[in-house]
Structure 1
Amino acid sequence: MTITPTELELTGAAEAALGGATDTVAPPPEVASGARALRSLRRDAGAVLSAGYIGLVVLMALFAPLIVRLSGWSPYEFDQSAIDPNLGGVPLGPWGGISSEHWFGVEPGSGRDIFARIVYGARVSMTIAVAATALTTVLGVTCGLLAGYLGGKSDQVISRVMDFLMAFPALIFMIAVLSALPASNRSALLVVIISVFGWPYLARIVRGQAMSLARREFVEAAQASGASGASIVFREILPNLRSTIIVMVTLSVPGYIGTEAGLSFLGVGVVPPEPSWGQMIASSVTWYSVVPTYFAIPGLFLFLLVLSFTVLGDRLRAVIDTGEAR
């Protein structure tokens, strides 16, 4: 039986079709790049350690009531038997009263359990930082996209507002406003005030990249096909800003944790008896020469958390930049 060239072509096409049907479907480019970035981060010891510590603090914040119940002490409970009233409230025992009963010792003067206050302080710090980061991201991305894509008067108005807020002495304004406002709902006030001065930095970066993307061929093709402005922004421009936004968010969280701690240290942040790492560091200033552990423990937790977010954000940025270069 003679097989014609046409039949050979048809047979080859059928085999190719059948073979393609049995092969594993390749993942989309976004999924593949995300998996490659994850593998790169897993091979980085600094990124793994940083992510592990961040995960530990997040678990502490989420399960704070359960952890404190297991420790046997409330963060607001005084233990007068653990301090020496004759010495002004110095903790009994070595290392600030560290024992099987008080794992991290007790606060001088009050006898409150430091471990319980560290756990609840993680909840306060992470809640404020994450909420401020979320609000900052929404404001920054929205305003940056509007300024970069629309241009014209919208860009001028938003850019002038960004310039004003970035040039304003934010710390002095925060201290003045928080000192004048009532102490109730102080955590919510911290989130709002931190976000007001934080969003312009993200918006400036998003604006510049949105202006560049708005002139690209795929955006012009979408405009020529009759796509609406909202569709172009959310389907064409915003997905291309994903890596930038992720890196900026990762690097913003440690900044806001430090801001909350600094404001609490200055006495205008979280109001006692609500525990906060910055507030604990401020309270330890008068005791650090007598009970150095009271200063060292919350300071170490705060330092490691800020360092972990910074290292993870830096590693993530390096991985994303390497992937984009490929």
Structure 2
Amino acid sequence: MTIPSTGLTVPAESEQDTAGTIPESRASVARTLLRDPAAVACLAYVVLVLLMAALAPLIVKVSGWDPYQFDQSAIDPNMGGIPLGGWGGISGDHWLGVEPGTGRDIFARIVYGARASMLIAVSATVLTSVLGVVFGLLAGYFGGRVDMVISRVMEFLMAFPALIFMIAVLSAMPADNRQYLLVVVISVFGWPYLARIVRGQTMSLKQREFVEAAVASGASRSTVVFTEILPNLRSTILVMVTLAVPGYIGTEAGLSFLGVGVVPPTPSWGQMIAASVTWYSVVPTYFLVPGAFLALLVLSFMVLGDRVRAIVDPGGHA
């Protein structure tokens, strides 16, 4: 859940030719990333998973198996439902094997599991970013009582045992719309980490000459915030968003593993890993396949986040 502090520094005034200009543009960041083989490989995998999530119905149609469809001919009922054939039933019909006990196609469930994981992680990241930026700007720019109230709320949420609370709340909630509840609950505990950094940099930026000049010229508070301060926070927000996504993917998988996340029969990678525990000794591929997809996705986002942080803040990157 905790998003690590980026340690980013605000660009010096000499680096800001005009208000809203940042040292590294999005195009510059993209060009630098594309020259890094590791970043390119990670980006390619992330794009692959995103395409899987977006095109899940079409991909499953091509594979010939629905994620909820049982294939009793692919398992041995006399052996407790163990998949027929080697490597968990991998064959021309079932590209990644079948689920023990039910015969459901693992490839189809992986594809739809990617949709659930990415939908929750991306939605939570968007909501977290909006809340974090808004409250961080309010606290940093207005200060005083506004800052005090927002800061106390942030401190409370950051000190609260989030995982325990998530498990308790989600366990008590109905199974309907569980994915939306996951997004809300994850976001409630995620936004303070971004808000704290935005607050600190806003407090620094509002003392700069270009902001004071805008205020002196009669610009409204909203104009100062959205045209002078917010554009200079884009690098920070970009890094924090990149680092938040893998954290939320892992959170969703962990909650689903514990049985309070995505509700069966809706596929989820964490849910598949949990179901594979009892079969690991006889069908290890049932655990390894979703585990590998999940681990590679989290690793890819972490590497991309690390590379982006190194590009936008080379001085603060270890």
Fold match (TM-score > 0.5): yes
Tell me which of 46, 51, 55 is aligned to 2:43. 51
CA shift at 1:29, angstroms? 6.1
The equivalent residue for 1:63 is 55
Which structure has the greater CA radius of gyration?
1
| 1:41 matches 2:33 | yes
| 1:298 matches 2:290 | yes
The equivalent residue for 1:14 is none
Tell me which of 248, 251, 270 is aligned to 1:256. 248
| 1:166 matches 2:158 | yes
Question: Partners in 1 of 2:104 and 2:26 — Cα distance?
Answer: 45
Q: CA RMSD in A?
A: 1.5
| 1:202 matches 2:216 | no
Aligned length: 298
Question: Partners in 2 of 1:33 and 1:272 — Cα distance?
Answer: 43
The equivalent residue for 2:16 is none
Tell me which of 160, 181, 190 is aligned to 1:189. 181
Question: Partners in 2 of 1:81 and 1:61 — Cα distance?
Answer: 28
Question: Partners in 2 of 1:190 and 1:32 — Cα distance?
Answer: 34
CA shift at 1:35, angstroms? 3.1
Tell me which of 295, 299, 308 is aligned to 2:300. 308
Question: Partners in 1 of 2:167 and 2:118 — Cα distance?
Answer: 21
CA shift at 1:324, angstroms? 9.8
| 1:275 matches 2:260 | no
Tell me which of 51, 71, 84 is aligned to 1:92. 84
Unaligned runs of 5+ in 2: 1-19
Question: Partners in 2 of 1:85 and 1:124 — Cα distance?
Answer: 30
Question: Partners in 2 of 1:236 and 1:255 — Cα distance?
Answer: 30
The equivalent residue for 1:21 is none
CA shift at 1:191, angstroms? 0.2
The equivalent residue for 1:111 is 103
Tell me which of 218, 231, 238 is aligned to 1:239. 231
| 1:147 matches 2:149 | no
Question: Partners in 2 of 1:275 and 1:251 — Cα distance?
Answer: 25
Structure 2 counterpart of 1:230, one-letter code: S
Q: Percent identity?
A: 75
Contact conserved, 1:137 with 1:249, CA < 8 A, in 2? yes
Contact conserved, 1:147 with 1:159, CA < 8 A, in 2? yes
Question: Partners in 2 of 1:72 and 1:34 — Cα distance?
Answer: 40
Question: Partners in 2 of 1:208 and 1:255 — Cα distance?
Answer: 23
CA shift at 1:66, angstroms? 0.2
Question: Partners in 2 of 1:323 and 1:171 — Cα distance?
Answer: 34
Unaligned runs of 5+ in 1: 1-27
Question: Partners in 1 of 2:207 and 2:288 — Cα distance?
Answer: 53
Q: TM-score, normalised by structure 1?
A: 0.89
Q: TM-score, normalised by structure 2?
A: 0.91
- Tell me: CA distance 1:50–1:238, structure 2 relative to 1, closer, same or farther (3 Å): same
Contact conserved, 2:24 with 2:312, CA < 8 A, in 1? no
The equivalent residue for 1:218 is 210
Question: Partners in 2 of 1:34 and 1:138 — Cα distance?
Answer: 19
- Tell me: CA distance 1:29–1:159, structure 2 relative to 1, closer, same or farther (3 Å): closer
Question: Partners in 2 of 1:33 and 1:280 — Cα distance?
Answer: 40
Contact conserved, 1:33 with 1:323, CA < 8 A, in 2? no
Structure 1 counterpart of 2:219, one-letter code: A
- Tell me: CA distance 1:165–1:258, structure 2 relative to 1, closer, same or farther (3 Å): same
